[in-house]
Amino acid sequence: MYALVMIFVALAVLVVLLRFRLRIGKAMVVSALVLAVLLGVTPGEMGGRLAVEWHENPLTETTPYLFVSLTALLLLVNVVGEAMGQIGLSARLVPAMQGLFRSRRAALTAIPLLMGMLPTPGGIMLSAPMVREAGDKIGVERSRLATINFFFRHQWEPIWPLFPAVPLIVDMLRVPAGELIAYHLALTVAGILGGILFLLLVGIPPRRAEHMAVKGNLRGHAKDFLHALWPILFTGVLYVQWHVPPALGVLLAILGLLLLHRVDVRKWGGIFRAAREPDMVLLLFGALWFKLNLEASGAVGSVVMFFEQIHMPPLLVLFVLPFLVSVSTGVTTPTVAITYPFLLPFIRTPDGMRLGMETLAFAGLVFGLAISPIHLCLALSASYFNTSLLRIVLKVLPPALCVAGAGFAVAWLGR
């Protein structure tokens, strides 16, 4: 019980620091430090835990490797966005999608879905201007536009390997990426269908003659669309099919993008400077330190034992714990790093790996992110679309519940 209370104290510190507008990376490091003090984890014990990892785990499953690889991935994704912007692919993307998807609803959905495959921090703003422009043209109310942009942008998070949480879970569970993604696919499908049902089939004004009038031919639109899409797909295929680390895949895609579009070498330095995001480095460092504190202190075992003593149903534990952490922090990868050590006994059992249970845990995480007022994308959406946070949350709640329902269904069927 003591360990569980101390964990929530550390998370409360994180929430308070975020409320005082401290950058999330710094706040995460402070939270991890507070947890180390509360649980009595000494530097020697931390070093001992790292030594055990080094001797017992493959290199790719050690904390230092995860820190380096996930940091490289997170920073290089920024470079992809910068390169696409300087080449002009981002500016051509909206007309291309409006030309390819003649349906107004399909165009509104395709913009955040496509841009959501590039998970830059605060990247909600990549698609927001496009969605606002297209939505204003057809007369969609601003809070609905904000919700469409916010919700559909995050539907790739359970399955797309450019999101650091996916390779982190693969490494923690030691399962094939394709197998994990196959289970998580139910969450993405449920989210998209729920979004269509609750966000697109209502609140869209009748069509007028001027709606979505885009010049150009279908071939030209398809060419612009594929030029923007291939670096993202290239990275995903390399990871799933040939196990190429996502960071390396992104780097190869960047080089291919720059060479293919004959970008002057003298401009490369400016493009790669987009990777300078020290707060994101601190975020990952703090999240992995938090995870190490849990493991080195033995808190994982004591919390699991407490859940068993109060006879809390495993399905509830799997959903509620990631939900509470994600709704409190508004971030994905740290939520995985913090909660999954507790959940491993329910997922990796003597009878084998139960990925249906893991899918339920990720559904709880996604549901928390969708309604978290601390989630940066939610706050940015409310500000940019000039609407209230509450109106977005109320609109996003029904499709988010569809994702939660899918998680419970997969877990129940996989029992």
Contacts of 52 (CB under 8 A, 6+ apart): none
What pLDDT, on the 0 to 100 scale, is given for residue 178?
92
What gap in Å lies between CA 286 and CA 358, rounded to an integer?
A: 23
- pLDDT band for 217, please (50, 70, 90 cuts): confident
On the question of pLDDT at 30 being above 70, the answer is yes
**Greater confidence, 150 or 163?**
150
Give me the amino acid identity at 344: L
In the chain, where the domains are located: 2-413
Contacts of 218 (CB under 8 A, 6+ apart): 99, 100
Percent with pLDDT over 70 in the chain? 93
Q: Which two tokens stand for residue 349?
A: 């059992």
**Greater confidence, 359 or 297?**
359
**Between 333-347 and 165-173, two packed helices, what is the crossing angle to 10 degrees?**
30
Dihedrals φ, ψ of 363, to 5°?
-65, -40
Average pLDDT, the chain: 85
Question: How crowded is residue 60: how many other Cβ atoms within 10 Å of its Cβ?
Answer: 14
What gap in Å lies between CA 54 and CA 43, rounded to an integer?
A: 16
pLDDT tens figures, 45-93: 999 989 998 988 778 778 898 888 878 887 887 788 788 888 888 777 6
- pLDDT band for 129, please (50, 70, 90 cuts): low
Question: DSSP class of residue 274?
Answer: G
What gap in Å lies between CA 281 and CA 23, rounded to an integer?
A: 12
On the question of pLDDT at 324 being above 80, the answer is yes
What pLDDT, on the 0 to 100 scale, is given for residue 291?
84
pLDDT tens figures, 227-257: 777 887 787 788 767 878 888 888 998 999 9
Dihedrals φ, ψ of 353, to 5°?
-75, 130
pLDDT tens figures, 331-387: 888 889 989 998 998 998 888 899 999 999 999 999 999 998 778 788 778 877 888
The single residue listed with the structure tokens 């493009």 is 271
What gap in Å lies between CA 151 and CA 146, rounded to an integer?
A: 8
- CB 158, CB 365: distance < 8 Å: no
What pLDDT, on the 0 to 100 scale, is given for residue 363?
98
What pLDDT, on the 0 to 100 scale, is given for residue 383?
77
Q: Average of pLDDT values for 298-326?
A: 86
What pLDDT, on the 0 to 100 scale, is given for residue 21?
80
What gap in Å lies between CA 80 and CA 340, rounded to an integer?
A: 30
The predicted model scores a pTM of 0.77
- CB 130, CB 93: distance < 8 Å: yes
The single residue listed with the structure tokens 């493991």 is 295
Dihedrals φ, ψ of 132, to 5°?
-65, -40
Chain-centre distance for alpha carbon 165? 7
